[in-house]
Amino acid sequence: MTDTIPRTLVDSWGRTHNNLRISVTDRCNIRCFYCMPAEDVQFLPRQELLTFEEIERVVRIGVTLGINKVRLTGGEPLVRRDLPVLVQKLASVPGIIDIGLTTNGILLAEQARSLRDAGLKRLNISLDALDPEVFRKVTRRDGYEKVIEGIAAAREAGFSPIKLNAVSVRGLTEDQIVPFGQLARESDTIVRFIEFMPLDADSQWQREKVLFASEILDRLTSAFGPLRPIVTDLNDARPTFTDQSTSSHAEAESHTPLLPLARASRAPAQDFEFVDGRGRIGLIASVSQPFCATCNRFRLTADGKLRNCLFSLEETDIRPLLRSAAKDEEIAQAMLDNIAAKREGHEINTARFLQPDRPMYSIGG
């Protein structure tokens, strides 16, 4: 790279991007209804997946533009063979200070130790229910016991605290909230409740199915007493309700008010602790309280497309660049251009919203 002017991934709204989420596969060993079709999924042919070397090159170039954090995701990242090899490659890229992984946990018992040894720092395990029957309804597959074994193996390998991601869906997972709260109070587990987003493969998403973060907070408060927000970076604190005059806003406000609430740095989760000091939870209110204004992430799909937002309708294909004689500079420019074109927000709460063609499993959540 010959350019001596420092360049960063800043969009036209002034947001700087340092966080790259990398999908390593679109394959998965379960079929969560909010992400994948139940049957007959068309997966990418293997040769269309970026190789580990190609991913590493993208990260090295990204570092010159300010990337310092990466998270591996998918599909299910642990179905990609030799994933610890990729973790090790990325951990050795100078400038990368944090590597995370989001997994459904089914294959974690076998891989937790080698991932840790390879340099994985942070692990999020997705588990939407503590009741095996509800787990089966959500995932349309067996595997609950394997996830529980995976969580135990992660703890044994030294991942702490354990972070669980639980998508909350009205009519399906309400009765899981209190058991998850109990788990958070009894162990070093942080449960992060995620609002159901319109990224499912069958376009079944409806606003009525979103269990709002404020309702989740209400249920936890009724069961265990009050919670208070945790603010880790006061300098970066900001209110989280954006001015969205929508029904979701009105509904959300009829519950425990989250306003004014400061966010821990630029993370999407709002973290809370029970005031008696026992237990911590997180709320990812992507629908009712979008955090687009502080977004610092962009994505690389398993087939080499850059996406500046989960809900992007456009993407930048860098695989042809990676597989030709293109210089690093050209790939860097593609990244800069992709970020420059980022929209202000996802617009889920507007009539203009269009669900992207790619469902979650093929984007990388």
Close Cβ partners of 91 (under 8 Å, ≥ 6 residues apart): 99, 118, 119, 120
The answer to whether residue 322 forms part of the interface with ligand SAM (CB under 6 A) is no
Residues 64-83 that bind ligand SAM (CB under 6 A): 73-74, 76
Rounded CA-CA distance 125/104 in Å is: 6
Burial class (CB in 10 A: 0-12, 13-18, 19+), 14: exposed
Instruction: Report yes or no: 258 and 270 within 8 Å, Cβ to Cβ.
Output: yes
Evaluated on CA atoms 70, 104, 36, 303, the torsion sign reads positive
The answer to whether residue 310 forms part of the interface with ligand SF4 (CB under 6 A) is no
Question: Of these, 7, 10, 16, 31, which contacts ligand SF4 (CB under 6 A)?
Answer: 31
Per-residue buried b or exposed e for 40-65, using 16+ beta carbons within 10 Å of the residue's own CB: ebeeeeeeebbebebbbbbbbbbbbb
Give the closest residue to 295 by CA, choosing from 69, 16, 74.
16
The answer to whether residue 36 forms part of the interface with ligand SF4 (CB under 6 A) is yes
Give one word for 222, left, alpha or beta, with left for phi > 0 and alpha for psi -120 to 50: alpha
The answer to whether residue 255 forms part of the interface with ligand SF4 (CB under 6 A) is no
Amino acid identity of residue 36, one-letter, is M
The answer to whether residue 270 forms part of the interface with ligand SAM (CB under 6 A) is no
Stretch that binds ligand SF4, among 32-40, 155-163, 247-255, 329-337 (CB under 6 A): 32-40
Instruction: Report yes or no: 184 and 127 within 8 Å, Cβ to Cβ.
Output: no
Structure token pair of residue 270: 């709002």
Question: Of these, 88, 104, 189, 338, which contacts ligand SAM (CB under 6 A)?
Answer: 104
Question: Of these, 88, 111, 126, 308, which contacts ligand SAM (CB under 6 A)?
Answer: 126
Binding-site size, ligand SAM (CB under 6 A): 20
The answer to whether residue 76 forms part of the interface with ligand SF4 (CB under 6 A) is yes
Show the binding pattern over residues 119-138: x = contacts ligand SF4 (CB under 6 A), - = does not. -------x------------
Nearer to ligand SAM, 189 or 321 (CB): 189
Stretch that binds ligand SAM, among 92-100, 192-200, 220-228, 349-357 (CB under 6 A): 192-200
Structure token pair of residue 321: 């660049």
The answer to whether residue 32 forms part of the interface with ligand SF4 (CB under 6 A) is yes
- Look at residue 36 and give the partner it binds from ligand SF4, ligand SAM, none, a contact being a CB closer than 5 to 8 Å depending on partner kind: ligand SF4
The answer to whether residue 154 forms part of the interface with ligand SAM (CB under 6 A) is no
Question: Of these, 25, 102, 111, 338, which contacts ligand SAM (CB under 6 A)?
Answer: 102
Rounded CA-CA distance 266/306 in Å is: 21
CB of 115 to ligand SAM, least distance (A): 14
* Chain contacts with ligand SF4 (rule: CB under 6 A): 28, 30-32, 35-36, 74-76, 104, 126, 360-361
